[in-house]
Amino acid sequence: MKKSFRYASRVPNKNLHIDHDDFREFEPFDGETDLVPRSAQPGVDALSVVGVDMRKDVNAAQHCTGEYVTNLLVVRRGQQFIIDVSFSRPVTSQDDFQLEFLIGTDPAANKETLVVVNFGNHSGAAWAGQIVEARDTVVSLGVTASSKAIVGLYRMYVAVAMGNGMQRTEKDPNTNFYLLFNPWKPDDDVFYPDEAGRSEYVLNSTGLIYMGTPDQVTERGWVYGQFEEGILDACIYIMDACRMPIQNRGDVVKMVRTASALVNSQDDNGVLIGNWSDDFSMGTPPTTWTGSASILQKYHASGAPVSFAQCWVYAGVLNTFLRCLGIPSRVVTNFNSAHDNTGNLKTELIFKPDGSPDRHKTRDSIWNYHCWNEAFMKRGDLPPKYSGWQVVDATPQETNDGYFRCGPAPVIAIRDGELCHPFDCGFVFAEVNSDLIHMKSDKYGNMTPFKVDTTYVGKLLYTKSRSGWGPEDITGTYKHPEGSPADQQTMALAEQFGCSRDRSNVPAAKLSIQISAQAGYVGEPLRVSVTFYNQSEAMKLVKVHMEISPTYYTGVVASDPLKVEDFRLDLDAFQSSIKVFELSPQEYVSHLGSNSSLEVTVTGQTDDVEVSEVKTIALKLPPLNITLSGQPQVNRDMYIMVSFTNTMGFPLTGAKLAMEGAGLLETQVYSYRTIPPMGQISRKVGFRPTKPGLQTLLVVLDCDNLPDMTAMVEVKVVP
Amino acid sequence: MKKSFRYASRVPNKNLHIDHDDFREFEPFDGETDLVPRSAQPGVDALSVVGVDMRKDVNAAQHCTGEYVTNLLVVRRGQQFIIDVSFSRPVTSQDDFQLEFLIGTDPAANKETLVVVNFGNHSGAAWAGQIVEARDTVVSLGVTASSKAIVGLYRMYVAVAMGNGMQRTEKDPNTNFYLLFNPWKPDDDVFYPDEAGRSEYVLNSTGLIYMGTPDQVTERGWVYGQFEEGILDACIYIMDACRMPIQNRGDVVKMVRTASALVNSQDDNGVLIGNWSDDFSMGTPPTTWTGSASILQKYHASGAPVSFAQCWVYAGVLNTFLRCLGIPSRVVTNFNSAHDNTGNLKTELIFKPDGSPDRHKTRDSIWNYHCWNEAFMKRGDLPPKYSGWQVVDATPQETNDGYFRCGPAPVIAIRDGELCHPFDCGFVFAEVNSDLIHMKSDKYGNMTPFKVDTTYVGKLLYTKSRSGWGPEDITGTYKHPEGSPADQQTMALAEQFGCSRDRSNVPAAKLSIQISAQAGYVGEPLRVSVTFYNQSEAMKLVKVHMEISPTYYTGVVASDPLKVEDFRLDLDAFQSSIKVFELSPQEYVSHLGSNSSLEVTVTGQTDDVEVSEVKTIALKLPPLNITLSGQPQVNRDMYIMVSFTNTMGFPLTGAKLAMEGAGLLETQVYSYRTIPPMGQISRKVGFRPTKPGLQTLLVVLDCDNLPDMTAMVEVKVVP
């Protein structure tokens, strides 16, 4: 290795697996030549350390860290924890000893990676020390880490001042401990002001992620599993893997920004590889995962990115990372999310002269839904207004200029159009506020807008409520009511900061089209009704184009249309007419691809106007049946019975049945080659709960041709 | 290649080397089945294109692009350029034709990567078109690209509307042209308000980079060479190499941010590999480069990062990139630059109890100088106040959280402590405003500050002046006067935005130390005088520690001290005393390493105070002699004669003599194994000026044991 003269010393960026020795066990004071320790008080036995007890018993409950499955102590910063040190004799006021806390390679006092805590005459240390109790030779020491302290895995030493040097305890991995963010303490930048919030956003290890369309919201469970064995280490490993400087790891803003980059593998060998194709043969389909734990464990064990993710997987894993380290967080779903644009506010759908969508020229897509995270924090780098929930997005987006990271962006800055602060506010603003512009192109290739829809994008934002298993509508935190003075002010401000809007003046057309559909189960006939209404004072001949295509949640159609109808319709002044289209199961089931949605596009042209309407229909999935039996008690036998009947009239292939429950059952996956029509599968699995309290079991049935059937069940485990 | 359903179509990110066809030559209108073009006017010959002339002759002068060495047209956006189209017959008002401009793969009208310019009845295009003159069959067309247009290499087609479709010219690389930013036009975000500034910051292809120490400023020439053959392509290639979306390439903020990341190879296979060691055997030593052109040409040819760079090389190449694309820019040197800290405002020097510097515990370093760039632009993403010069830094810094990019950060935001706007203001603020804190550690390892110097860091900021070859002091644009009310307000605001300062209250010591040195030439004896002044009312016994060490410009010492003196000094009340130390050539020359600087550290301790002072001395380098002969005229023979005598009393090894002059001479390098003491080398090189005007020749002599001797000479070339 060439010596570099760039640094006085390299910036330490590794927390786990520190192999070198920290100290010589006896370190003589400067100028001392005798290498044998000498008692500090002549005539009194030298004080030495006999044992150290990290007092997990009392500390874990006080610090709300009892659920972490680890032998080591887990505590939070800004809050006292207790360490018992047993000495060779009772301690007197003449004795001088200190605790030394070290993190990362090459710790240094002035980088706060080496912290000395005194209990004697010295003072001025960043961490407070206090002798809580002395019982004979055992002293209970209270230590309070600074509320800005670096978060991660610390090593600890007890050092006793001898007459001629410092005598330290041996390196002992059992006295290592984890220091986390502390949402319970007002001094901490991650302070969350109420217990219900902390219970949900920090301590809840299972959640719901919303999907589907704004009209047909569906949900799937996700086991965050932030307390499971090895997850805390995996989260610290993520920061080591990207060489995040240790000295930055107490700063929640930098931590969250790093995490948003590291959960995707785009430019830094991060956790997850995205895959939006139909071919997941080289890994696990995004729809098969039941939670984050197995992903993070796999990443930490191999050091290589895990295959495969789509947006909810990125969001699920990022949520685990955040909650695991003590940062309040939640997964948010934005319905009709404008995607991969460049921060301008135009999303354009292009139609051919005949009224059919021009799939080649249309470059933009609107995702039916997109999941990201919010993390709650004080933004010490910004004016106070911007503290609170922040958008963080781990899904890589090509157009954010090669930053495969996004956020933290203050939600309130998005709502108010104040896009001039870091990070990436303009980008998120466009995701919820883009205008949807319908364009038609003439024969020369010139394009003219004929409809501008300012309400389509960012229709609804949902997150799991704190009180139960339902959604909380948080649209109002991102957007003022459409058209309100506050909304107008927001849009004007956003334009000032470079978000360009479409300025074309498209008058409201005197013809309206409405699409509605009863979303049935996959395998049932689909009925779509389209209402045409002539709002003009003249009779109109309407040339109609209608097509139905299978579509992904990214808004990209999976194949050619399954049904196309072109017809003409006479409509008297102020008259309406309803047309019903039916799609039989035979017409659509084999074309669904890996997503059970259909896009209906209807265009109507008269002599003077053109109107188009697009609607995505998410089909319902058949139910999984779950029965629990046994005694819901820690360490007693329980059983989960999952059964499923294929009522769909076509065979399901490549089925994977996966189940997982934090504190109940580690991820289990069972494969079935085919489930024939009316075929039934059932599976009984035994397990023993490891933790008391309300726990959740999640089951997923994922087939090649029908992904993503999920079910959840709760069980109250007694101690 | 697996199909991905993530995008309606992938985001285009490639500008050069587009191989596919753009159009079918004849494209029938929708619904037309006849594939043979039919004249638009029955009975009149179909109009067809015979030839296209890009009118380099008139356009280049108008657009100030005459210096670019390329066969293609180079023009600027927001300003009319002329294209002559020869048709098969005179054009009538019945004829309908258009110009089509395409950039990147898969161009699209709604992404502004396909722009149609009409000269007939159509309107509403983003680029303006005008028939300037029609002479028989030749029509001169005036085209004005939008002042927000994408910058890069465009393809052009002439399309004529036939009766049944569009007939286009063939793909012709000779009608490709470059569109650049336009600092001459007020509508452009890079508008620079005066001609002297544009001459320097856009058009000057040679510059000066300041180095050394605040007391002994040195300089080296740098040939930016932004107009040389292949440089414009290399700059566009840089953006292709990092897959910057084409549609973002009209946005100067995004462009500059991308460039800051791409000039270093840290995370994206960028242009330059940094090397701050003493071993450059695997590439070119940073001190041997004479300019950017050979680096950029090498990078474009190989597609691989070029070895090696230090800060001024990064800054030189980034400056070339910016000026080449038309963004006003300059290289700035910050003397005493706080480095690789985390955005806090503390840089700590640690001293042992005996007064000697503790090189192990000192983790921070202050660079004697650090070079970065400023780019001039309107910040459309921020409130208007922040437009103007922006800091951009391409030197990779470990602690900026894995962003190996920095800026654009508004200089005015740095000056006023308004650090809550993008990008990286807090980081730059710390580089110019850190406090230098001298700490001593006691025997327990506890550290106490004994001196806080708030004026050391960011002592001086220099850039080349617009009017000539001297420096312009721009310290006042970065910092209010130390201690002024405005400065206090700045510091208070910066702290509010998370820049933590040292709050220790260290009283002014009643003992002062001043170090001064006559900077002689390398090889001469060095005399350092140290003045001690006892400001107290009592006699003091001062324990003094003095040491001199060779040092790099990064503030890192190269070896153990060359001279150490410890002594005691009696000082009466209000008495001063001067001590002189001499270092003979034999004591230092063989230890200088790749940088000719020495660091002097003096510590004085009395019974009640400790004081220390550090000073870096940059030694002078022996001169290179240059003589020009021949006729300074385009395409006539000229000669440069370089001679050098080694007056240094020790042999110079591994010497490389390099010379370069934009418009005069491409980079030439000659090697000499050894130059013995009093040995002389001389080299006469012939060349032929290619451009008229005031041109500059730069010569560098770089030896393993004495780098970086430079000289420049100007020559006025007549046409």
What is the distance between the alpha carbons of residues B201 and B330, in angstroms, rounded to a whole number? 6
Amino acid at B48: S
Catalytic residue of the set A96, A393, A435, A708: A393
| Residue B433 contacts residue B424 (beta carbons within 8 Å) | no
Taking the CA of residue B684 and the nearest CA in chain A, the distance in Å comes to: 36
A506 and chain B in contact, CB less than 8 A: no
Fold of A625-717: Immunoglobulin-like (2.60.40)
Residue B2, pLDDT score: 55
Residues of A in contact with B367 (CB under 8 A): none
What is the distance between the alpha carbons of residues A568 and B243, in angstroms, rounded to a whole number? 47
What is the tens place of the pLDDT at every residue in B262-298?
A: 888 776 678 999 998 888 989 999 999 999 999 999 9
**Is the pLDDT assigned to residue B7 strictly greater than 80?**
no
Residue A403, pLDDT score: 64
For residue A64, CA distances in Å to A80, A224, A655, B570 come to 13, 17, 40, 62
Residue B1, pLDDT score: 42
Residue A11, pLDDT score: 81
Asked if the domains A26-33+46-180 and A625-717 are classified in one and the same CATH topology, the answer is: yes
Residues of A in contact with B556 (CB under 8 A): 5-8
In 10 A of CB A30, how many CB atoms? 12
Lowest mean pLDDT among A544-548, B19-23, B72-76, B577-581: B19-23
Most confidently modeled range among A7-11, A17-21, A506-510, B221-225: B221-225
Residues of B in contact with A364 (CB under 8 A): 8, 110
Q: 232-261 in B: which are within 8 Å (CB) of A?
A: 242-245, 247-248, 251, 254, 257-258, 261
What is the tens place of the pLDDT at every residue in B359-378?
A: 888 888 899 999 999 999 99
What is the tens place of the pLDDT at every residue in B228-251?
A: 999 999 999 999 988 899 999 999
Catalytic residue of the set B188, B240, B393, B502: B393
Percent of chain B surpassing pLDDT 70: 97
Only one residue has tokens 């060490």, namely B549
Would you call B420 and A423 a contact, using CB atoms and an 8 Å cutoff? no
Would you call B364 and A8 a contact, using CB atoms and an 8 Å cutoff? yes
Active-site residue, B22 included: no
Residue A399, pLDDT score: 65
| Average pLDDT score, chain B | 91
What is the distance between the alpha carbons of residues A22 and A35, in angstroms, rounded to a whole number? 18
What is the tens place of the pLDDT at every residue in A412-424?
A: 999 999 999 999 9
Task: Please give the backbone phi and psi of residue A488, each rounded to the nearest 5 degrees, phi first.
Answer: -60, -40
Instruction: For residue B513, give the nearest of B436, B619, B605 by alpha carbon.
Output: B605
What is the tens place of the pLDDT at every residue in A243-290?
A: 899 999 999 999 999 999 888 877 667 899 999 888 898 999 999 999
What is the distance between the alpha carbons of residues A5 and A7, in angstroms, rounded to a whole number? 6
Residue B22, pLDDT score: 86
Active-site residue, B370 included: yes
Domain B26-33+46-180 CATH class label: mainly beta
> What are B644's strand-pairing partners?
B681
A281 and chain B in contact, CB less than 8 A: no
| Residue A289 contacts residue A310 (beta carbons within 8 Å) | no
Would you call A380 and B258 a contact, using CB atoms and an 8 Å cutoff? no
Q: Residue A57 contacts by C-beta under 8 Å, 6 or more apart in sequence?
A: none
* pLDDT band (50, 70, 90) for residue B121: low
B109 and chain A in contact, CB less than 8 A: yes
Q: What is the DSSP annotation of A242-256?
A: TT--GGGTT-HHHHH
Taking the CA of residue A655 and the nearest CA in chain B, the distance in Å comes to: 22
Q: 571-610 in A: which are within 8 Å (CB) of B?
A: 593
What is the tens place of the pLDDT at every residue in B481-496?
A: 999 999 999 999 999 9
Residue A656, pLDDT score: 95
Residue B475, pLDDT score: 98
For residue A329, CA distances in Å to A178, A242, A524, B21 come to 20, 22, 39, 49
> What are B546's strand-pairing partners?
B565, B602
Q: What is the DSSP annotation of B319-348?
A: HHHHHHHT--EEEEEEEEEEES--S-SEEE
B504 and chain A in contact, CB less than 8 A: no
End-to-end CA distance of chain A: 55
* pLDDT band (50, 70, 90) for residue B124: low
Residue A529 buriedness (CB in 10 A; 0-12 / 13-18 / 19+):
middle
Tokens at A201, concatenated: 């956003």
Catalytic residue of the set B339, B370, B438, B545: B370
Residue A2, pLDDT score: 55
Active-site residue, B235 included: no
What is the tens place of the pLDDT at every residue in A353-395?
A: 888 999 888 888 899 999 999 999 999 999 999 999 999 999 9
**Is the pLDDT assigned to residue A337 strictly greater than 90?**
yes
B276 and chain A in contact, CB less than 8 A: yes
Instruction: For residue B338, give the nearest of B307, B314, B364, B319 by alpha carbon.
Output: B364
Residue A101, pLDDT score: 97
| Residue B414 contacts residue B461 (beta carbons within 8 Å) | no
What is the distance between the alpha carbons of residues A338 and A330, in angstroms, rounded to a whole number? 21
Q: Residue B260 contacts by C-beta under 8 Å, 6 or more apart in sequence?
A: B318, B392, B393, B394, B405, B406, B407, B408
End-to-end CA distance of chain B: 56
Catalytic residue of the set B64, B235, B311, B324: B311
* pLDDT band (50, 70, 90) for residue B126: confident
What is the tens place of the pLDDT at every residue in B648-662?
A: 888 999 999 999 999
| Residue B182 contacts residue B62 (beta carbons within 8 Å) | no
What is the tens place of the pLDDT at every residue in A612-623?
A: 999 999 888 889
Cα A643 off chain centre by: 30
Residues of B in contact with A426 (CB under 8 A): 381
A492 and chain B in contact, CB less than 8 A: no
Residues of B in contact with A274 (CB under 8 A): 6
Fold of B195-497: Coagulation Factor XIII; Chain A, domain 2 (3.90.260)
Q: What ipTM was estimated for this complex?
A: 0.92
Would you call B248 and A399 a contact, using CB atoms and an 8 Å cutoff? yes
Cα A37 off chain centre by: 53
CATH number 2.60.40.10 given to B511-618: yes
List the domain boundaries for chain B.
26-33+46-180, 195-497, 511-618, 625-717
Residues of B in contact with A382 (CB under 8 A): 420, 497
In A480-557 the beta strands, taken as DSSP E runs, fall at: 511-517, 526-534, 540-551
If you average pLDDT over residues A194-220, what whole number do you get? Answer: 95
Of A10, A441, A554, the CB nearest to B6: A554
What is the tens place of the pLDDT at every residue in A434-478?
A: 999 999 987 777 788 999 999 999 999 999 999 889 999 999 999
What is the tens place of the pLDDT at every residue in B667-697?
A: 999 999 999 999 999 999 999 999 999 999 9
Strands B217-223 and B152-161, how do they pair?
Answer: unpaired
Would you call B445 and A342 a contact, using CB atoms and an 8 Å cutoff? no
DSSP code for B619: P
Residue A343, pLDDT score: 67
Residue B400, pLDDT score: 64
**Is the pLDDT assigned to residue A305 strictly greater than 70?**
yes
Would you call A277 and B5 a contact, using CB atoms and an 8 Å cutoff? yes
What is the tens place of the pLDDT at every residue in B441-480?
A: 877 777 889 999 999 999 999 999 998 899 999 999 999 9
What is the tens place of the pLDDT at every residue in A84-97?
A: 999 999 999 889 89
**Is the pLDDT assigned to residue B341 strictly greater than 80?**
no
**Is the pLDDT assigned to residue A53 strictly greater than 80?**
yes
Residues of A in contact with B439 (CB under 8 A): 110
Residue A1, pLDDT score: 42
Only one residue has tokens 């006793």, namely A160
| Residue B367 contacts residue B339 (beta carbons within 8 Å) | yes
Cα A187 off chain centre by: 25
Only one residue has tokens 């983790």, namely B363
pLDDT higher at B446 or B337: B337
| Average pLDDT score, chain A | 91
Residue B343, pLDDT score: 67
Percent of chain A surpassing pLDDT 90: 73
Instruction: For residue B522, give the nearest of B278, B216, B309, B280 by alpha carbon.
Output: B216
CA dihedral B490, B494, B500, B506 (to 10 degrees): 10
Residue B668 buriedness (CB in 10 A; 0-12 / 13-18 / 19+):
middle
For residue B416, the SS3 value is: helix
| Residue B684 contacts residue B640 (beta carbons within 8 Å) | yes
What is the distance between the alpha carbons of residues B102 and B373, in angstroms, rounded to a whole number? 32
For residue A662, CA distances in Å to A226, A463, A659, B103, B127 come to 9, 20, 10, 52, 60
A7 and chain B in contact, CB less than 8 A: yes
Only one residue has tokens 């030896």, namely B703
Would you call B2 and A558 a contact, using CB atoms and an 8 Å cutoff? no
Lowest mean pLDDT among A238-252, A333-347, B312-326, B701-715: A333-347
Catalytic residue of the set A64, A311, A324, A499: A311
